[in-house]
Amino acid sequence: MKRHALTLIGILMGLGLAATAQAYTGTNCKEPGVCWEPKPGYPEKIKGTRYDPKHDPKELDKQRQAIEAMDKRNRQRWQHFKKTGKFVYDVDEIGG
């Protein structure tokens, strides 16, 4: 009896969550499949608002440098693969 009650409660909770997920139907799609809308109160411009992530330029530069180094390694791997037909992951094994 207790098990049936718990199962029934679980089913009702699941149905309640499903109903809330389908409650919002007021989308205005710019084109098919592009239906994202900001929540009410979300600003048009983000800069200077509480939603502004305020990225540190030094951290962004670190990320840029890491991406450039990754691209360089991938270029070396690809050039070695085109020359030899063998893919080598470790760039130090390629030798330049």
59-91 pLDDT per residue, tens: 889 999 999 999 999 999 999 999 999 999 999
| CA torsion, ordered 50, 52, 53, 54, to nearest 10 deg | -110
Query: Among residues 49, 24, 46, 21, which one has the least CA distance to residue 35?
Result: 24
Q: What is the pLDDT of residues 19-67, one digit of tens each?
A: 555 544 556 777 777 787 778 888 888 888 888 888 888 988 999 999 9
More confident residue, 19 or 15: 15
Beta bridge partners, 31, equal: 34
CATH number among 1.20.81.30, 4.10.160.10, 3.60.15.10, 3.10.310.30, domain 55-96: 4.10.160.10
